[in-house]
Amino acid sequence: MRFDISVVICSYKCPAFIDNTIKSLSEQEIANIFFEILIVDYNETLEIPFLIKKWIQNQSINIRYIPESKKGVSNARNTGIRESKSDIIVFIDDDATADPLWLDSISRSFSTSDNVLVAGGKVVPLWSQSPPEWLGESLYRMLSVIDWGDKPRSLKWPERLIGTNIAFRKEVFEQFGMFDERLGRFGNNLIGSEEVELQKIVMDKGYLVYYCPDAVVHHLVPPERMEKEYFFRRAYGSGQSDAILAQKNNSGFRFLGRKVGAISKLHLNHMIRKCTRKDGKRHFTFSKNICYYRGFLERLRNPE
């Protein structure tokens, strides 16, 4: 059986919140469009979790559970692509929920032009508790939150969509390759950018990445992601991600030169001195930058 859209949820052990994710998909307001839901669980065991069994028994939605023994979210994404039975593949995380018009909005985005190969929309925070005062909007991107305004439009690099609210025509993977399995979350490592690389390729080839503000996803922000330690780990992972991309493009040393130049402008000694402080916005920013550069340099030295 063929579908119009395949929704892929990559999950590790299917946490309890995934029940909310699937429920939001079952409540989509979408007419004359048939979609399937693929749960790709990159867990060591092959037993179907109880939460998923409940939904599989629900005849009102088309859902499949796909166990994947190989770890890594990019590998799970690629498994979902191979298992999909449609020409449009949509990704949402297992700690996110979709607005009722999410899939309808994404479907309409692709209908605007055959040159639209990637589409998605806003990701808004679903706070598990009130965020601390230091967690301002400038840090939201590190929480996988994004908002490019209220008008639908094609994005221009470095604008891009977030992996918990992004859709691809299957031809993207046929023409340009699958997700790089060195990128993306792997265990406790916060490497990312697997979807960023493909968006850059699509734009460079003259195709469109389309932003639809009505395609809204709410992304859970648990308490542990409101700790400064999380942002340091996230910055370290971002540095590693950028090093992988730089090496793939043979631009590692050029990229590093720009970054080292940026450090010089900040005055390295001043940065180190400020990092000895116990509080303050500048201390946090400098510490986060150091984590980024450490991740970048360590990945350059140890590429595999």
Q: In a structure prediction context, what are the per-residue pLDDT tens digits for the chain, which is 304 residues long?
A: 788 999 999 988 778 899 999 999 999 998 888 999 999 998 766 567 888 888 988 878 899 999 888 888 999 999 999 999 999 999 999 999 999 999 999 999 999 999 999 999 999 999 999 999 999 999 999 999 999 999 999 999 999 999 999 999 999 999 999 998 888 787 777 888 889 999 999 999 999 999 999 999 999 999 999 999 999 999 999 998 988 888 887 654 455 545 544 554 454 445 545 554 555 667 788 888 888 888 888 888 777 6
Q: Examine the domain organization and report whether 33 and 81 are in the same domain.
A: yes
Q: Are residues 142 and 253 in the same domain?
A: no
User: Which CATH number does the domain housing residue 22 bear?
Assistant: 3.90.550.10
Who's near 251: CB < 8 A, 6+ residues apart? none
Give the per-residue pLDDT at 251. Answer: 56
Q: Are 182 and 244 in contact (CB under 8 A)?
A: yes
Please give the backbone phi and psi of residue 86, each rounded to the nearest 5 degrees, phi first: -155, 175
The predicted pLDDT at position 25 comes to 97
**Among the three residues 168, 200, 224, which one is the final residue of a domain in this structure?**
224
Whether 155 and 211 have beta carbons less than 8 Å apart is answered as yes
* Whether residues 153 and 185 fall in one domain: yes
Give the residue from 291, 168, 193 showing the smallest Cα distance to 248: 193
pLDDT of the residue at 262: 55
Same domain, 15 and 154: yes
Asked if 173 and 195 sit in the same domain, the reply is: yes
The reply to whether 148 and 212 lie within a common domain is yes
Same domain as 149, residue 266: no
Q: What is the pLDDT of residue 280?
A: 63
The structure's pTM equals 0.89
Residue 89, SS3 per DSSP: strand
Return the beta strands (E) in the chain as ranges: 5-11, 35-41, 62-67, 88-91, 96-98, 116-120, 123-127, 153-154, 166-169, 208-211, 217-221
Contact of 119 with 135, CB cutoff 8 Å: no
Longest dimension (CA), the chain: 64
Tokens found for residue 164: 């918990």
Quote the number of domains for the chain. Answer: 2
**Full domain range(s) for residue 89:** 5-224
Same domain, 245 and 204: no
Pair 201, 242 in one domain? no
Residue 52: half-sphere exposure toward Cβ, Cα within 13 Å: 21
Dihedral pair phi/psi, residue 224, rounded to 5°: -65, -20
Q: What angle do CA 165, 74, 30 make, to 5 degrees?
A: 30
The residue among 194, 224, 254 that closes a domain is 224
Long-range contacts of 173-179, Cβ-Cβ distance < 8 Å, separation of 24 or more: 173/81, 176/201, 176/202, 176/205, 178/77, 178/78, 178/81, 179/74, 179/75, 179/77, 179/78
Give just the sign of the alpha carbon dihedral 188, 195, 175, 255. Answer: negative
What distance in Å separates the CA atoms of residue 121 and residue 214, rounded to the nearest whole number? 7
Query: Where among 224, 252, 275 does a domain terminate?
Result: 224
| 151, 258: one domain | no
Same domain as 232, residue 196: no
Q: What is the pLDDT of residue 297?
A: 85
Same domain, 124 and 243: no
Rounded Cα distance between 274 and 134, Å, is 17
Strand 35-41 and strand 5-11: the pairing is parallel
CA–CA separation, 166 and 193 (whole Å): 13
